[in-house]
């Protein structure tokens, strides 16, 4: 039937049976924890059910965007930041030459 894997996330603990590698499942759970922590920083504290639903929406949004071939928003933000830094550096270099 599979391996038992203990899950602890969003204040809830339970055991699942899975044919997946337990380390892989832990990687998935870690990702959920990261998303929940990000959400908590933005939204503040919420009850477990509301947090779980919002985290599920965030992850589902990522999945649907990936399926449509849309660029990763994090990569897009990083690229924009790097372009802005280059532009600022160019302006500062021009001012330093004057």
Going by pLDDT thresholds of 50, 70 and 90, the confidence category of residue 6 is very high
And the tokens for 10? 């969003």
The yes-or-no verdict on residue 13 having pLDDT over 90 is yes
Kindly indicate the confidence band of residue 26, based on its pLDDT and cuts at 50, 70 and 90. very high
User: What's the DSSP call for residue 21?
Assistant: -
Mean local confidence (pLDDT), 77-89: 68
CA 98 to centroid of chain Cα atoms: 44
Task: List pLDDT tens digits, range 28-81.
Answer: 999 999 888 888 887 777 788 888 888 898 888 888 888 888 776 666 665 666
Are 54 and 43 in contact, with CB atoms under 8 Å apart?
yes
DSSP-based three-state secondary structure for 26 = helix
Q: Which residues are 4's β-sheet partners?
A: 17
């Amino acid at each position: 039937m599979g391996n038992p894997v203990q899950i602890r996330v969003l204040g809830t603990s339970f055991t699942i049976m899975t044919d997946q590698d337990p380390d892989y499942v832990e990687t998935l759970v870690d990702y959920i924890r990261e998303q929940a922590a990000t959400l908590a920083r933005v939204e503040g504290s919420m009850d477990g059910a509301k947090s779980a639903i919002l985290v599920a929406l965030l992850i589902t949004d990522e999945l649907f965007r990936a399926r449509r071939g849309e660029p990763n928003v994090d990569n897009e933000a990083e690229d924009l930041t790097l372009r802005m830094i280059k532009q600022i550096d160019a302006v500062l270099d021009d001012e330093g030459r004057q």
